[in-house]
Chains A and B, each alone.
Chain A
Amino acid sequence: MSRTVSEIPSLRRLALVGNPNCGKTTLFNALTGLRQKVGNYPGVTVEKKEGRFTVGDVEVVVIDLPGVYSLSARSLDERITRDVVLGRQAGTDPPEAILAIADASNLERNLYLVTQVMELGRPVWLALNMMDLAAAKGLTFDLERLSQALGIPVIPIVASKGVGLEALRRKLAEPLPPVPTRRWRLPQVIESEVAALAERLRAGSWSDSAAAEGEAIRLLLGDVAEDDALPPAELQSAVNAARGRLEALGIEWWTAEAEGRYSWIHAVCRSAVVQPELFQQTASDRIDAVVTHRLWGPLLFAGLMLLVFQSIFTWAQAPMDAISWLMGRLALATRGVLSPGEFTDLIVDGVLAGVGAVVTFLPQILILTFFIALLEDTGYMARAAFIMDRLMRRVGLSGKSFIPLLSSFACAIPGITATRTIENAKDRLVTILIAPLMSCSARLPVYALMIGAFFPADRRLWGVFSLAGVMLFAMYGLGIAAAVAVAWLFKKTLIRGASPPLILELPPYRLPSPRTLLLTMLSAAWQFLYRAGTVILAIAVVLWFLATYPRDVALSRDYAAERAAVAEAVQRGQTPEAEASAYLQALENLEKAERREKSYIGRAGKLIEPLIAPLGFNWKIGVGIISAFAAREVFVGTLAIIYGVGEDEDAAGSRALSAALQADRYPDGRSVFSPLVAVSIMVFFVLAMQCMSTLAVTRRETNSWGWPAVMFVYMTLLAYTGSLIVYQTGRWLGLGG
């Protein structure tokens, strides 16, 4: 089985297994440093993380597995952990041994998983983490006795401070300890059923001899998840018959495993750990007295959310401006270095403009990732889920869906990735599908342009609120309302299922680890830049081609001749130089606009005009919307190009664009834009799925093309219908347009 492993004696594969919140990731990072490799297990979305370290001539490979409470395989994470350790997971070699990690300050609950791991037929070490916190809690350990009672080596560590790691590393490179044996007992009738089933497993070679008993316990006493692979029919009928016999005796077999394990664990802990009194008032309690207080809790929560939003929009401004400026400089420098021509245009107007516009959002992504990681690392996230659960439940979700949705206000991509912490597969899917309805930062430039042009900031509503502010708030509100309605609808139709139970650990508050924060931010930045350098780059190039070609079109005037005439007039002194350069600039913009209109993308806009006219959109808006399907923020730049007001989006540029939008007329003299049209456009942007990267990440996370297709279709339909209702109702009410 472990062929590659046993032939190379100096290589050792270990699986790292532990509960959530026990410091498993911290230990993994501390043991392996940057020697990590991250991938995905084929067919599932759970991350596959491997790291290495060397002790003498032994190379130790550590497989980091998801944090789980049990191996009962009720969630995807649990299933992966079980299958990887048993060597049943495709795409990874089975480990030779297991490194279990437990939180010493919460030992009984942590040992539950350890006892299950000990029955997998592999040698096991136990790293007892957070010894410092346990000591602070008043716990004292007789480690020798604990190791003897459990029957496995126990190594005390403080992973966050690096304490005991050298000893642990050395221990892991020593000869393997013996495979542990099961020391806890079930009631006698159940024991005989387990023994019979284990015999059957061994005889049919369905299971390793050493792991057969554990497997029999899992099969007989565990409640298998609906989507887990069922054992062969013959086994299944043996299991059902055994359960029937137990039920006939009045035995609730499904409670037997936890009862058996915990009573043994409790006895072990009583013999090896001196515990202080049962319920103590801790520092976490004093914090929670405020954080989850009836009044202060929600207020603090709202304040924190405000701070996060505020920082995304304000702190990010300076670095974003700097990146914009840098990109502009880079474009200028490129024009200076490369000779004028189509290739240079492609690089500057296609690649630099397209990728640059997206890279600008990096500071927002970093700030958001920082806050999310900080809230996660300190233990506040679990409290946010605790506070919000009641509200989320109304639409059939649980408090666990709240965090991913919150992240989606910056960008749906980290939001969708964050859904991995949701155990229930249906819940996770619904959360992924509604995440892009949260108004992300890429929509902000569109809202800002429309509101700036058609809803003056000095107009007041009821004398207090600025109309512009109310409009912006309304757009965010519309996204949330749509998400709530869609979640409710999905839970009633496509993804039916009762609201799953919320059974959530509230870990003690801890100081965040700068190392973890830094690694999280680095990894987010890398993923974002990687996307910008691949997918977005390709889209930018394609867009540029579509907006540039064909080149040899019949133009309405001879721009080259007019330019020559102006140059001549300047030379003869008839026209002042400043006036001429302004005129030349206007001429160039006009030509650009006309070429854009006659390009492939312009033709596409004209083609779809009849389709979008009922929404109040003309072909120019249509072109903007088409290009925005690659990335929403492209809309503003596209309009600027079509209206020939230059590509720069600085304050002066967007004022010029506003004026151009206000002045645009249909051939019959009607205004193209009105406040109603502006609202219609914004409603479209709130609801439409205009982000390739979101679709790509949805494909990855759901491992299907079906769900991104559902997302695209439902959101686009929603956007069309929404805009149609807004525009037609508005016209009917006589609101103009």
Chain B
Amino acid sequence: MTPVMTLDALAIGTAGRVERVRGNRAVAQRLQEMGLTTGVVVKIVRVAPLGDPLEVEVRGYRLSLRKEEAAVVEVSAP
């Protein structure tokens, strides 16, 4: 079992497996509806030119979210 990391801490080009989505219920539900549920593999594709938000790939499509929201997604090594 690898130590718990959050999605915003992953390096560009690396992937992680979602363990848990914490944070306020509304944001957590929206993130989960968009496909970030337990066990799914997420890859960090790139960062916006000004350093935020992130672009990730999940379930075969591209999603943009801020680092602030990515920080509530706990991931492990895929």
A binds B: yes
Q: Which residues of A contact B41 (CB under 8 A)?
A: 278
Given A258-B33, A279-B15, A502-B64, A292–B46 Cβ distance below 8 Å?
A: yes
Residue of A whose beta carbon sits closest to that of B66: A502
B37 smallest CB distance to A (angstroms) = 5
| CB of A254 closer than 8 Å to a CB of B | yes
- What would 4 more interface pairs be, CB under 8 Å, given A255-B29, A258-B37, A506-B63? A278-B43, A284-B62, A501-B65, A504-B64
Q: Which residues of B contact A386 (CB under 8 A)?
A: 48, 53, 55, 64
Closest 9 CB pairs of A and B: A258-B32, A390-B50, A506-B62, A108-B59, A106-B61, A504-B64, A262-B37, A70-B33, A223-B25
- B residues near A (Cβ < 8 Å) are 15, 21, 25-35, 37-41, 43, 45-46, 48-53, 55, 57, 59-66, 68-69
Per-residue 0/1 for A377-410: is the Cβ within 8 Å of any B Cβ (1 yes, 0 no)? 0000010011101110100000100000000000
Q: Which residues of B contact A288 (CB under 8 A)?
A: 46, 55
Q: Which residues of B contact A87 (CB under 8 A)?
A: none
| CB of A297 closer than 8 Å to a CB of B | yes
| CB of A721 closer than 8 Å to a CB of B | no
Cα A540 to Cα B46 in complex, Å, equals: 53
> Which of A74, A106, A382, A389 has a CB less than 8 Å from the CB of B59?
A106
A629 smallest CB distance to B (angstroms) = 39
Interface residues on A, range: 35 or more
Check if B29 sits within 8 Å of A108, measured CB to CB: no
- Most chain B CB neighbours (cut-off 10 Å) among A112, A262, A385: A262
Interface on chain A toward B: helix, strand, loop, or mixed SS?
helix
B32 smallest CB distance to A (angstroms) = 3
Per-residue 0/1 for A260-293: is the Cβ within 8 Å of any B Cβ (1 yes, 0 no)? 0011000000000001001100001100100011
> Which of B33, B39, B46, B52 has a CB less than 8 Å from the CB of A389?
B52
Check if A387 sits within 8 Å of B59, measured CB to CB: no
Give the residues from 126 to 159 in chain A that come closer than 8 angstroms, CB to CB, to chain B.
137
Given A386-B55, A503-B34, A298–B49 Cβ distance below 8 Å?
A: yes
Residue of A whose beta carbon sits closest to that of B46: A292
Q: Which residues of A contact B35 (CB under 8 A)?
A: 108-109, 112, 262
| CB of A602 closer than 8 Å to a CB of B | no
| CB of A69 closer than 8 Å to a CB of B | yes
Check if A292 sits within 8 Å of B69, measured CB to CB: no
> Which of A74, A257, A263, A393 has a CB less than 8 Å from the CB of B30?
A74
Given A263-B37, A279-B43, A109–B61 Cβ distance below 8 Å?
A: yes
> Which of B38, B59, B63 has a CB less than 8 Å from the CB of A259?
B38
Given A108-B60, A502-B66, A505-B61, A389–B31 Cβ distance below 8 Å?
A: no
Residue of B whose beta carbon sits closest to that of A262: B37
> Which of A254, A284, A387 has a CB less than 8 Å from the CB of B50?
A387
Q: Which residues of A contact B30 (CB under 8 A)?
A: 74, 501, 503
Cα A258 to Cα B30 in complex, Å, equals: 9
20 contacts across the A-B interface (CB closer than 8 A)? A109-B34, A112-B35, A223-B25, A254-B25, A255-B21, A258-B37, A259-B38, A263-B37, A278-B43, A279-B15, A292-B46, A294-B49, A389-B52, A389-B64, A389-B66, A399-B53, A503-B63, A504-B63, A504-B64, A507-B61
Q: Which residues of B contact A504 (CB under 8 A)?
A: 53, 63-65
Check if B29 sits within 8 Å of A297, measured CB to CB: no
Given A262-B35, A501-B30, A501-B65, A391–B50 Cβ distance below 8 Å?
A: yes
